[in-house]
Structure 1
Amino acid sequence: MIRMSLRQFRGQALVGAILLVVAAGYLVRLGGDIRAVRDPAQLPGQYGQTMLFLAAGFGLVPALIGAFWGAPLVARELETGTHRLVWSQSVPRRRWLAVKLAVLGLAGVAVAGTLSALLTWAAAPVDEAAGDRFTAILFGARGVAPIGYAVFGLTLGAVTGLLVRRTLPAMAIVFLALIAVQFAVPNLLRPHYLPAERVTVPMSADAINQARSLGSITGGPAVGGLEIPDAWVTDTSRLLTADGRQLSEAAFDGCFHDAPRTGAAGTFGDTAVCLGELDLHVDLAYQPNRRFWPFQWFELALYLGVGALLAGVGLWRVQRRVR
């Protein structure tokens, strides 16, 4: 049974192996080039964008595993009708599916684990110099969490193919679903794995000029992009007055659209000076960088757990009669 699964999987395995070798060669060379830079302070500026592009591309790996390895696993058999021959043999259906999931699951773990280990190694000096590997894109391309993504992607693909019974629709559904999950989890679940630490930050003119954005789509008194050293900021309150109330939109708009002319420099210039005179502050919630590895292990366990549940659903469903 294992030998048969390996034979059926040899085409995808060959493509995956070739891509893995190419990616590994590039990452090893990249890691060497990064370590050849004498001044570590230059690394974020020199390689920061490269790391973001690599992390974004790495985020597609679970979707590709789910779509091209997982979705056809059962759907192709059902679509071509070969499941009738396979399931009439002496091997029980559940064992047949379990072996296939195990073989492809180990392959997915090997690919994701190898790429993650190499990228984590290559990017280590850049991450250390930047003090940032906790943001959504970078976190998902480091450590052990990508192993969980691969297992989840494969099992989701296999179960979707089992239910949809058509290969191409299953591939499309799985690919889009996994992309959606990769966006949802970092924003909805990851910030809450552990209770966030909080701090109040006075909004002087200098502090406002350090923000990346001011105002919101609705015109509210919001400030965005504030940073805390060695931490991931997960939530920023609206601009608050000294007594803890939200700054009125009228006061905010007055500074934003009609600030007194002072000739001040900085990102927001006169607006920052005007707001800085109002004795404002914001409340920040953040996760310190020292929690990186606890979050990695928690996310690995989360995806492995959901993957196991999906595998259970698939084993239960395949036992039922499929015509």
Structure 2
Amino acid sequence: MIWVTWRQHRTQAIACLALLGAVAIFALAVGTWMRMSFRADGLPACLAASGGAGCPAVLTSFVHRFDNNIAMYINVPLIAIPGLLGIFAGAPLLGRELERGTWRLAWSQTVPRTRWLVTKLGLLTGGLIVFGAAVTALMTWFHQPLDQVTARVQPGMSNTEGLTFTASLLCAFGLGVLAGLLLRNVIGALVVAYLAWEVPSTVVVLLSGPINIPAPAVMRIPCRAGCPGASTVSVPPVTGHLGDFVLGITRSAGELVVTYLPASRFWTIQLIGGGLYLAVAVAALGTAVWLLHRRTT
């Protein structure tokens, strides 16, 4: 089974290795440059002495140079990669067998079809977890200087750290497997699975944006002079705490009413988003195993 799985899915495995290599080259090259600039700008001493309050101009320049202009070249593609890679690994697993009719040979051997599917799912899921963990480790190292001076809970950075990336990858894979079984057509399964993956992805984005679960914190700041320069993109943030993700600012009776996500909620947000992805993945894969066990025609 291991040899057959490798033969049938080696294209996806090679694509994962190539993609991981590209991410590693970018992360190591730019991450090293970022660390050199971080030290050259004197940010470690400033953060240690004043928490960033003593060098707002240097902080702003560093964040704009790397977070707003360079990091997006890797953060943006990595938002879509879990969905694309997951469905390309999952959709052919059953869809190709059913589309070509090779299931008649594959499932008439000494290995029962349920064991055949569970074994392949175990091997592919393990490989995807290793790939996701490797990308997450690289991106966590890459973002480490930015995590000290920007909001780690903001979309983009939080999508490639913690649990979200790997969980999103498994979600797309599970939906791809189920779509391949139901549609019996690889191309159709790819399209349907990607559209289905967009649903939990949108929910996760909404949970960390307009819906805000958990609820954002609120801070009221006296502001007699109008607080010029206070905005959601202030660096340091208007809350005065590096790492907070400011969602909105309103002025009321001489005060700034600031709604924000504290940096301390990073893992809470990761567990909610990652848990949603994993729940969808388990439901999709469990349904596929159950359906395959019940019928093959």
Q: What TM-score bracket applies, with the shorter chain setting the length?
A: 0.7 to 0.9
- 1:150-189 matches, within 5 Å, as 150-188=169-207
The answer (yes or no) to whether the contact 1:55–1:138 under 8 Å persists in 2 is yes
Spell out, residue by residue over 1:222-267, the C-alpha distance to the aligned partner (whole angstroms, 9 max, x if none): xxxx953432245x48x676xxxxxxxxxxxxxxxxxxxxxxxxxx
The answer (yes or no) to whether the contact 2:87–2:175 under 8 Å persists in 1 is no
How much has 1:175 moved relative to structure 2? 2.3
Aligned to 1:28: 28
Number of aligned positions between the proteins: 271
The answer (yes or no) to whether the contact 2:153–2:265 under 8 Å persists in 1 is no
How much has 1:289 moved relative to structure 2? 0.1
TM-score, length of structure 2 as denominator length: 0.80
Aligned to 1:322: 296
Spell out, residue by residue over 1:6-50, the C-alpha distance to the aligned partner (whole angstroms, 9 max, x if none): 221112111221221222122111211111111143431221122
Is 1:77 the counterpart of 2:133 in the alignment?
Answer: no
How much has 1:204 moved relative to structure 2? 6.4
Letter in 2 for 1:292: F
The answer (yes or no) to whether the contact 1:112–1:147 under 8 Å persists in 2 is yes
Structure 2: gaps of 5 or more residues? 44-58
The answer (yes or no) to whether the contact 1:60–1:179 under 8 Å persists in 2 is no
- 1:214-293 matches, within 5 Å, as 228=239, 229=241, 230-234=243-247, 236=248, 279=253, 283-293=257-267
Runs of 4+ in 1 over 4 A off after TM superposition: 189-193, 201-205, 280-284
Is 1:68 the counterpart of 2:42 in the alignment?
Answer: no
How much has 1:52 moved relative to structure 2? 2.5
Aligned to 1:248: none
Q: CA distance change for structure 1 residues 304 and 184 in 2, over 3 Å: closer, same or farther?
A: closer
The answer (yes or no) to whether the contact 2:206–2:212 under 8 Å persists in 1 is no
Larger Rg: 1
Q: CA distance change for structure 1 residues 134 and 322 in 2, over 3 Å: closer, same or farther?
A: same
Helix, strand or coil: the match of 2:274? helix
The answer (yes or no) to whether the contact 2:226–2:254 under 8 Å persists in 1 is no
Question: CA RMSD for the aligned pairs?
Answer: 2.7
Q: CA distance change for structure 1 residues 112 and 227 in 2, over 3 Å: closer, same or farther?
A: farther
- Counterpart CA distance in 2 for 1:121 and 1:168 is 36
Q: CA distance change for structure 1 residues 30 and 7 in 2, over 3 Å: closer, same or farther?
A: same
Q: CA distance change for structure 1 residues 59 and 204 in 2, over 3 Å: closer, same or farther?
A: farther
Structure 1: gaps of 5 or more residues? 214-225, 242-278
Helix, strand or coil: the match of 2:126? helix
Aligned to 2:53: none
Is 1:140 the counterpart of 2:159 in the alignment?
Answer: yes
